[in-house]
Amino acid sequence: MVLADYFIEHKLCNDYSVRFFSPTLGFPTADVLMDGPYCGSGKMLTINYKGDLYACTRFADFCLDGKERSIGNIYDGINLDKVRPFLTNSLRMQSSEQCLNCEVSGGCATCVGNNFNCSDCNTIFNRTTFHCELQKANVRACRYFWERYAEVTGEKSMREKEKERLFLDKDWRTKKAKYIYFITSDNAPAYCSYQSRPDSDVKMSGEILKKGLKFAIDHDYIPIFLGESNDIIDQFLSNHLGFQMNGAFAGGIPQRNMAVYEQADENNIIDNANTAILLIDRKTIPFLAEKAAELAEKHGRINITIRDGSTWKKEEIAEYRTQLTDLYHRLLKLYQNGRFVTVNVLNDIMQEKDIAGCGAGENAVALAPNGKFYLCPAFYYEDETNCICSLEEAEPERLFHQYRQPLCSLCDYYQCKRCKFQNIHSTGELLIASKSQCMISYTEADVAREFQQELLENGYTDIAGEKIKDITHPDPITKIRV
């Protein structure tokens, strides 16, 4: 911290760089980096005075505590079998679950030779963790430095620009990034499977909003603001990555605004938003295709969210199929006219390779006006006592968890919403969906498969993505032997 202050006070930032304040330090590590090595060990060569060959200098005998691990010598050559472990030693393969799930792993140094030296079983696949607290302290100092930089210069920091760059990668923003939904008022428009309180005048105080934003900054979480903007939010969005639902500002950038349409039969269209969230229920299914096509003229992305899917019967699901079929034909016409709009329930399954769906409690939580965290806004609106913890008590390990997927792991439909709020009401479990939710997902996948075939026949191979699998079990519960 002292070094950070010295650098800023003496205006050294433009002429010098310090590794401790690297703008790339301390973000969650992207999967593409986890599947590669940290260093060049195994692709370089060290030769000692006797002619022994090593994967790097760190494996030379004078660098190890009585151990030895050569890969050959100058007389017999390189033993390629001894090299094989090094070629497979990616960050993922050497890291424990603690490292794989670490929120500040970006830039965390690891040495293959030191891993071997410290290992009780003489393996290079055992990443050391004794310096974890040092990495966390370094990241805190790095965040402090760049926040001070932005405060003093009035400019967006390089670290914030790095976060925006990372966010462009879909895998990073859906699997690595974490979000806080700020419910700035009780009457903020609902964006998912719940109802807000349109007649309430309860608002989040400026004090709680500022404390919540500091918590987000301190942990590199991305805020999503539900409700009207204000001076505090506007100021934050001027220099930080964040999003506004139905807000007027969001940095003036359409990609950071999300328009929420609570009824498929309403007439208003919200400008200055790249993404539209269209909420539907059993009553508004017949309006789906027409409304979504109308929104596609203004928005580049449409997320269809079903509010009451866990209660849908065969008749509603059949009508939903009809509407989705109509919608993809309308999308094809837009594509032919050069306008490429994506719809979550039709396009995402062509691109997803892993289980996605509801991120409540996994990569997103909600901060309510009362200063307490909830799994998602739905749990706050239903029962304010059903909170995770208060803002003062909040720690990452209390807010976010990696849940097992006992039923969804059997399914190949990765576009499914998997709403935890609906799950708890229909099955009594957060992670077990109702049969109707599974049948809705099957319907979406089946129509998407038809859409994909049309895309391929019309030459839109990039949009068509990966071939959607033929599924013989619409409800994954039928895969389980009883």
Token output for 372: 């307490």
Which DSSP string corresponds to 380-426?
Answer: HHH-TT--SEETTT--HHHH------TTGGG---TT----HHHHHHH
Q: Summarize pLDDT for 161-180 with one digit per residue, the tens.
A: 999 999 988 888 888 899 99
Q: What percent of the chain has pLDDT over 90?
A: 58
Query: In the Cβ-directed half-sphere of 301, how many Cα atoms lie within 13 Å?
Result: 15
Query: Which domains, and CATH codes, for the chain?
Result: 15-133 (no CATH), 156-363 (3.80.30)
Q: Summarize pLDDT for 30-76 with one digit per residue, the tens.
A: 888 888 888 888 888 999 999 999 999 999 988 999 898 999 999 99
pTM for this entry: 0.86
Average pLDDT over the chain reads 89
- Which pLDDT value is given to residue 257? 80
Token output for 284: 């508004």
Asked if 9 contacts 62 with a C-beta cutoff of 8 angstroms, the reply is: no
Of the candidates 148, 165, 153, 41, the one whose C-alpha atom is nearest the C-alpha of residue 106 is 165
Work out the burial of residue 132: count CB atoms within 10 Å of its CB; fewer than 13 is exposed, 13-18 middle, 19 or more buried: middle
Q: Summarize pLDDT for 404-438 with one digit per residue, the tens.
A: 677 776 776 666 777 889 889 889 988 888 888 88
Measured torsion, CA atoms of residues 31, 35, 41, 43, in degrees rounded to the nearest 10: -120
Residue 267 has pLDDT above 90, yes or no: no
- Which pLDDT value is given to residue 253? 57
Residue 250 has pLDDT above 60, yes or no: no
- Which pLDDT value is given to residue 467? 86
- Which pLDDT value is given to residue 249? 44
